[in-house]
A and B are shown apart, each in its own frame.
Chain A
Amino acid sequence: MTPAVGAVDRPDLGPLRPPGDTTGLFGVLKRRYLLKLLVQKELKVRYQASLLGLAWSYIKPLVRFSMYFFVLGVLLNLRDSIPLFALHIFSAMIMVTFFTDTLNAGTKSVVKNKSLVRKMNVPREMFPVASVTVTTYHAGPQLVILLIATVLLGWSPDPTAFVAAVLGISIMLTISLAVALAFSALNVTYRDVGNFVETIGMMVLWSAPQLYPWEFVADRLGPVGEQIYLANPVAMAVLLNQRAFWVPAVDSGETVMPDNLLMHGGIMLVCCLGLVGVAQLIFARLEHGFAEKM
């Protein structure tokens, strides 16, 4: 028998502290290598055993785009009243799809990683953050396609267009992160969240100026209704993206955009950052019960 090893002093280990990472999103930033591996895992697993693989993330938006264009542009003839209607839809669709994708994948992210959450000590914020990152990875090429299409159609961007693009994308990323964090945590306790999320996805589709122009909203809702409409972060991100790509490609004077769009966008971004904070608080509160509730 080996002689028993006595206690040793190891001053390099630092102070005693509770096990488990409670640093939240900052903890995720500190462990970017783990995040990278989780994102790679997600990308690999998502389309495994499928013939078309990653191509699905292009086929689905393409089919959706074609349907919208055919039904609304051709059958309902919105093509005539909205210049470059295809670009109008596509610049909006990128944003709406991004949001609904993070909403769906983000909500499931913690539950889907059940085995890790129950057995291993990982900063749990990793999972919603990874799922937003995966969606960003898929959305990147769509943005490139949009850029190419816009340039081909005669894009002449002004400085406002660039600011609008950055604002729109930032709003989209922050609101998606907030939603993914909050809903992934709520989904552990309340499986109602799945149904709730479907409902929100449907509402978002119709509550952003994607399939109809902002002009209709401005004409028919009145000043109060307009402000309520603009309080929707997705609608705001869509408008900013249209301001960045669609408006500069159309001859001036033919498009209607809300007044003070950039200011509204700036305020919205600050609000969304606040929402990320709130979502982090919700997550931290519920996270204690994750391992036992699954």
Chain B
Amino acid sequence: MAESVVVNHVSKTFTLQNARTLKQRFVRRSRSERVNPTFLALDDVTFTVQQGEAIGLMGLNGSGKSTLLKLISGVLRPDKGEVLTRGRIAGLIELGAGFHPQLSGRENIYLNAAILGMSEAEVNQKFDEIVAFAGINKFLDSPVGRYSSGMFARLGFSVAAMADSDIFIIDEVLAVGDPPFKKKCMARIREVRDEGRTIVYVSHNTTQVRKLCTRAIVLEEGRLSFDGAVADAVHHLRYDEDPSGDEDGEGGEI
């Protein structure tokens, strides 16, 4: 057994408002207000993910899920504690993050893949697969700024999902895209999981989490409030009490 992601007593504080000019700083200090009010986004969070595990990260909006994902992907650094990972990470913190609107689909595929750590040979080898999955053949040489939001999202998912990674991070990606594409994405995510890669999956969709993940972690106001079986997590969050919840049709199509 090998650990893939270790989150050890991690806290992250954000500055709410920057008093940037000297004048503002002086005024705030003279009123004995704090110069920069802060907000504790993550409070002493600890958990470990084993290699090949698929965990669902759940919690209400503002509970710290995205912050945690950014810490795991290395975009943010913890203020206290430590985050450790093993192997290459492909993150979907936001679909199409890092796409440049003025570059063509082709150029963006190469750039995005290189950012995810792929070499030129690797991208060349996977290029057709990426394009086919995204289904954008016709528009490959148009700037992605002119893509429809669905095409943009499909291309973003496609690059990250085809990249070789040991840890795959997905943040609410299936909120966009039409049902057939969502289905395709879920199938791809399952493939990734079955290849023995670690998955950290953020979603409010309990059906998806239940079908994909073996374990769930629940955050509440920055604190880890639950870590265990998915069914119990859903119960813990009381998502199962609301029949009109997030169980939209697509989730059931896995």
Contacts and interface: CB of A to CB of B under 8 A. Distances in A.
Contacts of B89: 19, 121
Interface residues of B, number: 51
Nearest to B2: A9
B175 interface: no
Interface stretch (A33-41, A59-67, A103-111): A33-41
Given A14-B86, A19-B74, A7 B2 contact: yes
B248 interface: no
Contact of B87 (A6, A13, A190): A13
Interface residues of A, number: 43
A2 B225 CA distance: 27
A281 B83 CA distance: 22
B245 to A, nearest CB: 20
Interface stretch (B27-35, B56-64, B93-101, B176-184): B93-101
A215 B194 CA distance: 75
Nearest to B85: A19
A19 B69 CA distance: 11
B19 interface: no
Contacts, number: 129
Interface string A166-185: 00000000000000000000
Interface in B89-120: 89, 91, 93-94, 97-98, 100, 102-103, 107, 110-111, 114-116, 119-120
Given A16-B3, A33-B114, A10 B50 contact: no
A34 B114 contact: yes
Contacts of B204: none
Interface of A: 1-2, 4-11, 13-21, 31, 33-34, 37-38, 40-41, 44-45, 48, 115-122, 190-191, 288, 291-293
Interface of B: 1-3, 6, 14-15, 18, 20, 50-54, 70-77, 82-87, 89, 91, 93-94, 97-98, 100, 102-103, 107, 110-111, 114-116, 119-120, 166, 190, 193-194, 196, 211, 214
